[in-house]
Amino acid sequence: MKTLLARIFGKKTTMTNITIIGNGNMARGIATRALAGGQSVEILGQDAAKAQELARELGAGVTFGTTADAPQGSIVVLAVPFEAAKSVVTALGHTLAGKTIVDITNPVNFETFDSLVVEPGTSAAEEIAKLVPASSNVVKAFNTTFAGTLVAGVSGGRPLDVFVSGDNADANAAVSSFVSAGGMRPLVVGPLKRARELEGFQFVLMTMQANPEFADFNWDTGLQVTK
């Protein structure tokens, strides 16, 4: 499908390092940083026209397709809601074999905005990891960076910290290198189960954006480690 669309719309297919699934705010933010770091980017959306629109906005060389296409990148970023991420990886199945899969989701219960939807003792990242081929590696990253700060590349005038957790050192290193190239600082904080704390802490940060006590917080804050 991607190749067909590329032909119809006259886009050239190029070697892709990073596939981003989704065409929303985080897809835009992560793609912006990836392109700043010299990566080649593919956008796969459930709606080809929306994926094409984001690809066009991002600039020349960005390819696009649908979530039915096999991802071309060695790193695949799931820039969709948690429930959708589970469906997407299940549908993509073996086409994800050997890939580094980046889970950015915050599994917040948006009905109550008072808890996560994952049980204590697990995380969205660990639940997604149960659904992917054994040869692929799930890495948690970017769940603490708000979309607008990724587009800007800074928060509070400082480069972004990107907390990374995962069980495979090579996959963590591949994501860290992508993060560094995009002008951000990767902080590898431990195994995939550290995603529990990263998701929990980001939930707190999200509630602060909606809390009138923090009137000047508007989804533009950053979680950073200073020294």
* Cα end-to-end span (Å), the chain: 49
Count of H-run helices and E-run strands, the chain: 8, 10
Stretch of 2-10, 82-90, 157-165, 179-187 contacting ligand NAP, by CB under 6 A: 82-90
Identify whether the C-beta of residue 165 lies closer than 8 Å to the C-beta of residue 139.
yes
Q: What's the chain's length in residues? A: 227
Site for ligand NAP in 188-227 (CB under 6 A): none
Among 14, 35, 40, 46, binds ligand NAP (CB under 6 A): 46
Among 6, 20, 80, 92, binds ligand NAP (CB under 6 A): 80
| Residue closer to ligand NAP, measured from CB, 135 or 207 | 207
Identify whether the C-beta of residue 58 lies closer than 8 Å to the C-beta of residue 31.
yes
Q: How far is CA 19 from the centre of its chain?
A: 10
Taking CB under 6 A as the rule, does residue 146 contact ligand NAP? Answer: yes
Among 14, 87, 122, 224, binds ligand NAP (CB under 6 A): 87
DSSP code per residue over 150-208: HHHSEETTEEPEEEEEES-HHHHHHHHHHHHHTT-EEEEEESGGGHHHHHHHHHHHHHH
Stretch of 56-64, 84-92, 112-120, 130-138 contacting ligand NAP, by CB under 6 A: 84-92
Q: How would you list the strands of the sheet with 100-103, edge to edge?
A: 63-66, 41-45, 18-21, 75-78, 100-103, 137-140, 161-166, 185-190
Angle in degrees, CA 17, 1, 101, rounded to 5: 35
Rounded CA separation 187/203 (Å): 19
Taking CB under 6 A as the rule, does residue 19 contact ligand NAP? Answer: no
Taking CB under 6 A as the rule, does residue 147 contact ligand NAP? Answer: yes
| Residue closer to ligand NAP, measured from CB, 88 or 195 | 88
Taking CB under 6 A as the rule, does residue 57 contact ligand NAP? Answer: no
What mask of x and - would describe binding to ligand NAP in positions 106 to 145, judged by CB under 6 A?
x------------------------------------x--
Rounded CA separation 137/114 (Å): 30
Taking CB under 6 A as the rule, does residue 88 contact ligand NAP? Answer: yes
Taking CB under 6 A as the rule, does residue 50 contact ligand NAP? Answer: yes
Tell whether the torsion through CA atoms of 137, 138, 140 and 142 is positive or negative.
Answer: positive
Min dist. Cβ of residue 49 to ligand NAP (A): 9
| Residue closer to ligand NAP, measured from CB, 19 or 105 | 105
Residues of this chain that bind ligand NAP (CB under 6 A): 22-27, 45-47, 50, 67, 79-82, 84, 87-88, 104-106, 143, 146-147
